[in-house]
Amino acid sequence: MEKVDVVALGELLIDFTENGISAHGNPIMEANPGGAVCNVLSMLSGLSKSTAYIGKVGKDIFGKQLTEAIRSVGIDDSGLVVDDNVNTTLAFVHTYEDGDRDFSFYRNPGADMMLTVDELNLDLVRNCRIFHYGSLSMTSKCCEEATFKAIEVAKESGAIISFDPNLREPLWDSLDHAKEEISKGMKQCDILKISDNEIIWFTGKEDFDEGVEELRKQFNPKLITVTMGKDGSRAYYGDKIVSVPGFVNENTIETTGAGDTFGACVLNYILEQGLDGLTEDDLKEMLTFANAAASIITTRKGALKVMPSREEVEKLLRS
């Protein structure tokens, strides 16, 4: 089997996003394919990287739509399992005027939670350069076991391990449980992508440098990137701290997928440059491209099927 650049395990779901008001004054919802890890894979596929997904959908119209969606953007679906009994997970996204959003999930259970160890396509895991995961696959016992089995196999085969906590509070029975599982996820990773609000929640530190220092003492990933919304992003690598301002886009309509787009660009840079010996200039180049890509996705509804191309990102950088 040929090496796959990035294999990801996690949620694949429908994001119902608001798209206007009906004649009767009701919100019109558009069924967008989504799920953080598949958004990451979609962006990477668009950057000419080979990608594969491991996860589960229901045997319903949404499961069929999602299967077709990931195939259409070039993601290998040989690790995708269909559940005969549990429906595909649905998320309803409410967008505020500033582009930020709230989620309501229909997932009690949802198919993405039901992946088991026996259903893992471990050939994909053994043959990837980077293995990527989030925390939503840790919210149920069976899928948590599958996640950590896949991480174990990926580490044994020499893959770089990438983690994005992607905290979604409504999906956890308690935030203490969330912290416990996310700690286990952080303990395994070489690359940690984390948001500003997640650092504050996890460490209690308002100062991101102090928060990251605490994370490094506990878990010591090789590279930590922090997304800070309109304020841009920051990278922590060895003794280097590099900050790059954001690209504030006047056409922003929603922020769904912005962090995933950013994270994908970081992984793309590591695939091309490696994780060893990165300079401050390297980190700045990596963050600048990732910030620009994230800015573009905020001007579009949905994420998985509308990721920016390399040419679009480079055009923004030139301007």
Question: Per-residue DSSP letters for 2-53?
Answer: --EEEEEES--EEEEEEEEE-TTSPEEEEEEEE-HHHHHHHHHHHTT--EEE
Beta bridge partners of 105: 91
Phi, psi of 155 (to 5 degrees): -65, -40
Beta bridge partners of 80: 55
Asked if the structure places residue 100 within a domain, the reply is no
Expressed in angstroms, the distance from the first to the final Cα of the chain is 42
Q: What residue ranges of the chain have pLDDT lower than 70?
A: 96-101
Q: Provide the b/e sequence for 154-192 (b: ≥16 CB within 10 Å).
A: bbeeebbbbbbbbbbeebbeeeeebeebbebbbebbbbb
> 256 in the Ramachandran plot: left (φ > 0), alpha (ψ -120 to 50) or beta?
beta
- pTM attached to this predicted model: 0.95
**3-class SS of residue 226:** strand
Cα–Cα distance for residue pair 15/90, rounded to 1 Å: 6
Asked if the structure places residue 20 within a domain, the reply is no
Look-up of token digits 């102090």: 210
Provide the pLDDT for residue 101.
Answer: 66
Asked if the structure places residue 261 within a domain, the reply is yes
CATH of the domain at 116: 3.40.1190.20
Provide the pLDDT for residue 97.
Answer: 66
Lookup: tokens for 69: 């969606």
Provide the pLDDT for residue 28.
Answer: 93
**3-class SS of residue 231:** helix
Provide the pLDDT for residue 119.
Answer: 98
Lookup: tokens for 197: 């609000």
Residue-number span of the structural domain to which 301 is assigned: 4-10+35-85+107-318
* 55 CA to centre of own chain: 14
Asked if the structure places residue 28 within a domain, the reply is no
DSSP label at 96?
P
Asked if the structure places residue 23 within a domain, the reply is no
- Cα torsion at 180, 303, 162, 177 (round to 10°)? 0
Provide the pLDDT for residue 99.
Answer: 57
Phi, psi of 309 (to 5 degrees): -85, 165
Asked if the structure places residue 219 within a domain, the reply is yes
Cα–Cα distance for residue pair 81/55, rounded to 1 Å: 6
Asked if the structure places residue 139 within a domain, the reply is yes
Q: Domain tally for the chain?
A: 1
Asked if the structure places residue 255 within a domain, the reply is yes
Lookup: tokens for 221: 């990933």
